[in-house]
Amino acid sequence: MTDLSIEIVSQANANEILEFEKENRDYFETFVPSRGDEYYETDNFHKIINSIIEEQLQDLCYMYIIRNKEGEMVGRVNIVDIALEECRKAELGYRIGRKHCGKGYATAAVRLAVTEAFGRHRIEQLEAGTSPTNIGSQIVLIKNGFEFVSRQEKVMQVNNRWEDSIHFVRKK
State pTM to two decimals: 0.91
Q: Given this model, what pLDDT does residue 86 score?
A: 73
For residue 87, the 8-state DSSP code is S
Q: Give the integer Cα–Cα distance in Å for 18 and 24.
A: 10
Q: Give the integer Cα–Cα distance in Å for 90 and 29.
A: 24
- The two beta strands, 89-96 and 125-130, are parallel
Q: Given this model, what pLDDT does residue 158 score?
A: 66
pLDDT tens by residue, 63-95:
999 999 999 999 999 999 999 777 889 999 999
pLDDT tens by residue, 131-146:
888 899 999 999 999 9
Q: Given this model, what pLDDT does residue 134 score?
A: 87
